[in-house]
Amino acid sequence: MDKNKSTKYNLAVLLSAVVLVCCGALILGQKVNAAGEGKITGTVKLDGTAPHMKGIDMSKDPYCTKAHATDPAHLETVVVGSGGGLENVVLYISDWSGSPTASTGVPVFDQKNCVYTPHVLAMDVGQTFKVTTSDQTTHNIHPLPNPMTGNIPWNQSQPPGATPVEKSWKAAEVIPVQCNIHPWMHGWFVVVKGPYATTDDSGNYTISGVPPGSYTVTAWQEDYGTQTQKVTVAAGTPGTANFTFKAK
């Protein structure tokens, strides 16, 4: 064997080895991905006195007034629970590089007692969500995305017993939702890419389905804006990211 040939042979062996190792890593990586679904957990709190949430005058519609006879309605811009936990904060991975539609299930946005339940509905790009009505009065569901993002506004009537509306959004965007018939009705569709979570009434959240790795977690609150944190998720050890928003 002359020298030239031997070099070529060596190169071929080396290349095959590299390819093999790469394939192995890919397969193993997928296994980790499927089996070791990591998590990011934490709590979002408000620092300072919770702002006063104004009451809502629903006298325009007797049905709505009656629905809140014993439980007066008020704005839900900032909802603070036990121990200063902030509700309705959406947490998502802003540098997510996996499939944008990582979440399964059909999130539901209900029109109940003339308010939106939940007030903030998070979802993935391309994930189907459902709009339902539990009310015996007519609403219209009118999301107002910026048409330049690729999301197009639509407007559907929701009389009592209306057929649920099932839709999805094309692009990541925070979309205000309104009812023109009841101008106080205001909510949000927060459309993100990849795993997400929304804080409960104590401000706690868990983002599941996160493979081990380093991420940037973003917390979005409708009035206070966004905050980000770097988080590392290891196999078997959830990442932690606690956020604090300062009261205005």
Residues that bind another protein (CB under 8 A): 60-62, 136-138, 140-142, 144, 147-148, 152-160, 162-163, 165, 180-183
Backbone φ and ψ for 167, nearest 5 degrees, come out as -145, 180
CB of 78 to another protein, least distance (A): 22
Torsion, Cα 83 88 92 94, to 10 degrees, reads -100
Q: C-beta of 10: minimal distance to another protein in Å?
A: 44
Q: Which residue has tokens 């690729």? A: 150
Shortest Cβ 131–another protein spacing (Å):
11
> Least distance from C-beta 189 to another protein, angstroms?
14
The CA-based dihedral angle spanning residues 78, 79, 82, 86, taken in that order and rounded to the nearest 10 degrees? -60
In terms of Cα–Cα distance, which of 95, 82, 109, 98 is closest to 186? 109
DSSP assignments along 136-195, one per residue:
SS-EEEEE---GGGT-----EEE-TTPPPEEE--SS-EEEEEE-SSSTT-EEEEEEESS-
Q: How far is the CB of 166 from another protein (least distance, A)?
A: 10
